[in-house]
Amino acid sequence: MEKHDGFMRALKCRECGREYPLTATHVCEFDFGPLEVAYDYERIKRVLTRAAIQSRPKSMWRYRELLPVAHEPTVGLQVGFTPLIRADRLAKKLGIREAWIKNDAVNFPTLSFKDRVVSVALSRARELGFDTVACASTGNLANAVAANAAAAGLKAYVFIPADLEQGKILNSLIYGAHVIGIKGHYDEVNRLCAEIAGKFGWAFVNVNMRPYYAEGSKSFAFEVVEQLGWRVPQHTVVPMASGSLLTKIHKGYQECIKLGLAPETPYRVHGAQATGCSPISTAHKAGLDFFKPVKPDTIAKSLAIGTPADGFYALRAIKETGGAADDVTDDEIRDAMRLLAETEGIFTETAGGVTVGVTRKLIASGKIAPQDSVVICITGNGLKTLDAVNGYLGKPREIRPSLREFEALMAQEEKALKS
């Protein structure tokens, strides 16, 4: 194989700027700062035009030059280019002029935005010669690693908190992945995985492969920009677990502007968390640059990271863009899931309830102005977190297969409506 790195230049420390070769590594040896992929933007600018992008298949890989693979991708070729939906009925309920839903609840193949980061991480893992991939996960990542590894013929080990939702557990087991439930919360799973990664020589997508993995989230931003007709939205509300997606949406918007794909307009990126696990939004509301770790207790399990790896950078991105952050309770999460379903016909998981609920709060408090336009990031599917709404939606009414019984039921309903 010809030795070249595509459009990547190096891995670069976010703290001191020292550069490292493009291997499976993620921290700076001098200050333990996280490493990030640096690109040759001059070369990218010459080839990556709007016309070039639009001539390519509708997947996240149409922005391939801005994604960290050296050669053509080999895993997850169908991932991304999910719908951006104009949500007028929801906007009306939220009290804002214009709202858009970017709907990764229907991402392929595992119905969450994690397919994006995983297709990048596994494509890169293969380039680097790995045959076994792994992850520490709050659920969706485990599903995405399990499915995409199966389709690529890679061995997969996924580590999850043992008390995850049934839907998330079964959605990993079905693909034949080695699923290991850890009796502890995510932060303990993650710590264990850092030790395993050092010993077993696997490609841990969010440990030693994290610099590549995280870049996959930028595709979410690229698609929003293209689908809005090549402009950056005024407001974007993003759910935060580790805070990585939020920082990469910010980076994606900046790259679009830098490459001339979108005009330079002001934009704000807002962060959403569950009150039961809100280290980042709590720090932002207190005006702090650093978060304090918490012990998670929320139905939004996919966001339940008490020590968010990118929390510091997420706080900075929010501040830099003039954005805000807030959090919502479990009841507000369920209400918001229902609101999105009833107004737009989209069943999101608890994380989406967090995002819609926080959007509602930010509009009510004036942090997002009613005459503005907002993109709401829906990142996962409600069919995976049925436990969260079970018992809160009422029950179907049962009758025998008889027209008379149905008429009686309708009459009852009419009466109830009148009273």
Ligand X SMILES: *Cc1c(COP(=O)(O)O)cnc(C)c1O
Q: Which residues are at the interface with Zn ion (CB under 5 A)? A: 13, 15-16, 18, 28, 30-31, 33
Residues 6+ apart with CB under 8 A from 408: none
Three-state SS at 289: coil
Asked if residues 234 and 267 have their Cβ atoms less than 8 Å apart, the reply is yes
3-state secondary structure 393-408: CCCCCCCCCCHHHHHH
Q: Least Å distance between CB 27 and Zn ion? A: 8
Strand runs (DSSP E) across 118-234, as ranges? 132-136, 155-161, 178-182, 203-204
Site for ligand X contains 279 (CB under 6 A) = no
Site for ligand X contains 236 (CB under 6 A) = no
With CB under 6 A as the rule, give the number of residues binding ligand X.
16
Three-state SS at 375: strand
290 vs 313: CA distance, rounded Å: 9
Q: Least Å distance between CB 80 and ligand X? A: 15
Number of H helices, E strands in the chain: 16, 13
Alpha helices in 183-300 (DSSP H): 186-200, 210-215, 218-227, 244-258, 279-285
Residue with tokens 């230049």: 9
Site for ligand X contains 340 (CB under 6 A) = no
Per CB under 6 A, the list member of 103, 190, 242, 298 interacting with ligand X is 242
Site for ligand X contains 114 (CB under 6 A) = yes
For residues 240 and 368, which CB has a smaller minimum distance to ligand X in the complex? 240
Per CB under 6 A, the list member of 239, 296, 357, 382 interacting with ligand X is 239
User: Which of Zn ion, ligand X, none has residue 140 at its interface (CB below 5 to 8 Å by kind)?
Assistant: ligand X
User: Which of Zn ion, ligand X, none has residue 245 at its interface (CB below 5 to 8 Å by kind)?
Assistant: ligand X
User: Which of Zn ion, ligand X, none has residue 15 at its interface (CB below 5 to 8 Å by kind)?
Assistant: Zn ion
Residue with tokens 């920009």: 225
Site for ligand X contains 241 (CB under 6 A) = yes
Question: Site map for ligand X, 130-169, x if CB under 6 A?
Answer: ----------x-----------------------------
Site for ligand X contains 243 (CB under 6 A) = yes
Site residues (vs ligand X, CB under 6 A): 112, 114, 140, 239-245, 302-303, 349, 351, 379-380
